[in-house]
Structure 1
Amino acid sequence: MQNTYAVVDDERGFSFRNCRRNQNLISSGFKPPNVTKTGTTICGVIYKDGVVLGCDTRTTNGHIVWEKCCEKIYKIQENIHVAGAGTAADMDAMVKLMRANAEFHRLNTNRKIIPVSYLKTITSRMFFRYGGAISCHFIIGGFDHKGPHIFIVHKEGSSMKLPYATMGSGGYIAMSIFESRWKPDLEEHEAKELVADAITAGIVNDLGSGSNVDLCIIKKNSSEKIYAYRKIGVSGIKVLDYNIRRGTTGVDLKAIKKIDVDIIEEKVVKMNI
């Protein structure tokens, strides 16, 4: 009899043995669980003197906006910050592991700052170890002895070094801003506006992204977070007083106009019920 159960072995790399099991389960009538879609727009760019990371602040649960002021840029070391997209619980656990591993490496090597590539490597290995089961992605930005760096790490473990990067459900929209306006050796104010415009494009065109634009500027000897650098979709100012007494309705304008009506034809029709 063919084995249709999960197989656990010590082989390195990806294993696709469970694909046949899943196919047999679905063909026998098993209904797979629904996937909950999350939405985020994160991006980062290298400029003349450092790195600028940006993110939106909306947290979603399916079609429900769960929180409007969520923090998606995390400090790993003084010289390294990461912007995350994906499932909040997985992201929180991964950030704790990244912080712990980075601090252990700093203490073991007696360094003041650790290389950004080291954090990229250990993060990529952790993702690869679980074969894509950890549902989150990261843009790693930092400054070390080799200068500013931006790395992207996908949940399958693949990674890449880029001059600018976007991720999340609004990432493709934000990428259009970078591809049309990015140039080498950006000034700090240009980089901040470019990242803010990219996140704004994601917020405006992606339903999973929203609220404010948060930025993080990482330089050689310092880092700074700017919360609500730009606010999108601010509520308007109330015009009327909504404290209305019971039995009344407040109106902004009252006008009575007499309308003359001529009855041309009147006919009574009896209906059978």
Structure 2
Amino acid sequence: MAGGVAEKMESSSPMRHTTRPIVTGTSVLGLKYKDGVMLAADTLASYGSLAMFQDMRRISKTGSYTLVGGSGEMSDYAAITHMLEDLDRENKNANDGFEFSPKEIFYYLRAVMYQRRNKFDPLWNSLVVGGFKDGQPFLGCVDLRGTAFEDDVVATGFGAHLALPVMRNKWRPDLEEGEARALLEDCLRVLYYRDCRALDKVQLSKATSEGTRISEPYKLETDWASASFVAGPGGDLDGDGGW
């Protein structure tokens, strides 16, 4: 009897949606360069203010041409990657040689994010979509409301405030691969210094005419010797209690 009442009450309860992110990843950066597109992100997923998961891969491949990076709620990002895996599986099952281009993946994700927003059940993510197909690089960004745009440099999270100005200042269309990597590493280093949800363990990925590739996580070289970081209490730089 009690069980039946409980089941009835549960079935009549209002639908509940996620109202805020819980386990989150921070910035994803992307830029076009001479030979293709490069994406970068760290590997931290924070549980509130706790740096809990330090090997969270936030850049994934979709098919042969496309890379997708995600910031925001990591369970929602996992749901998005599963959607893209299903889409890729359907293409392979058709066995007709067709494969979605990066721009088509971008349009698909824009529609998904906008549809979920209209249902008041958003996927709490900002996504960077990059790829290379038929000699053309592609780079775009989609947020949880379905707002989408394309650009030569993009960034999500705190990267939109701290890294994007650096990228816009130093970017040029003929960047070599090494220069593009150095620029992204500089931006990730700035984020590690200034964003308390960032980590110095990062991944880089690229999409070129040869396909897509994602690096294994590695540590950035950092330097905390600046006086502003080592000052003693009350601004004492010498540690002797004086100015």
- When the two structures are superposed, what TM-score results if normalisation uses the length of structure 1? 0.68
Match of 1:200 among 168, 185, 189: 189
SS of residue in 2 equivalent to 1:227: coil
Structure 2 stretches lacking a partner, 5+ long: 1-13, 225-243
Greater C-alpha Rg: 1
What is the aligned partner in structure 1 of residue 115 from structure 2? 129
Higher RCO by CA contacts (8 Å cutoff, separation 6 or greater): 2
The equivalences for 1:68-107 within 5 A come to: 68-105=54-91
The equivalences for 1:186-225 within 5 A come to: 186-225=175-214
Q: Does 1:43 align with 2:29?
A: yes
Q: Distance in 2 between matches of 1:198 and 1:231?
A: 11
> Runs of 4 or more off by more than 4 Å in structure 1?
33-37, 105-109, 232-235
Q: How many residues align?
A: 206
CA separation of 1:58 and 1:216: change in aligned 2, threshold 3 A: same
SS of residue in 2 equivalent to 1:183: coil
> What is the one-letter code of the residue matched to 2:54?
K
Question: How far does residue 150 in structure 1 lie from its aligned partner after superposition?
Answer: 0.5
Q: What per-residue deviation string (whole Å, max 9, x for no partner) do you get for residues 166-217 of structure 1?
A: 0023331111210221111211111111111112211211001113121002
Higher alpha-carbon deviation: 64-73 or 86-95: 64-73
What is the aligned partner in structure 1 of residue 145 from structure 2? 156
What is the aligned partner in structure 2 of residue 179 from structure 1? 168
CA separation of 1:109 and 1:160: change in aligned 2, threshold 3 A: farther
> What is the one-letter code of the residue matched to 2:52?
W
Contact 1:69 1:211 in 2 (8 A): no
Question: How far does residue 121 in structure 1 lie from its aligned partner after superposition?
Answer: 1.2
Q: Which structure dedicates a bigger proportion of its chain to helix?
A: 2
CA separation of 1:125 and 1:181: change in aligned 2, threshold 3 A: same
Q: What per-residue deviation string (whole Å, max 9, x for no partner) do you get for residues 46-86 of structure 1?
A: 11111111001111011111122221111111211111101
What is the aligned partner in structure 1 of residue 43 from structure 2? 57
Structure 1 stretches lacking a partner, 5+ long: 1-6, 9-32, 236-273
CA separation of 1:121 and 1:102: change in aligned 2, threshold 3 A: farther
Contact 1:177 1:198 in 2 (8 A): yes
Aligned-residue CA RMSD (Å): 2.6
Q: Distance in 2 between matches of 1:169 and 1:37?
A: 16
Contact 1:210 1:232 in 2 (8 A): no
Q: Distance in 2 between matches of 1:37 and 1:94?
A: 15
> What is the one-letter code of the residue matched to 2:97?
R
SS of residue in 1 equivalent to 2:198: coil
Contact 2:185 2:220 in 1 (8 A): no
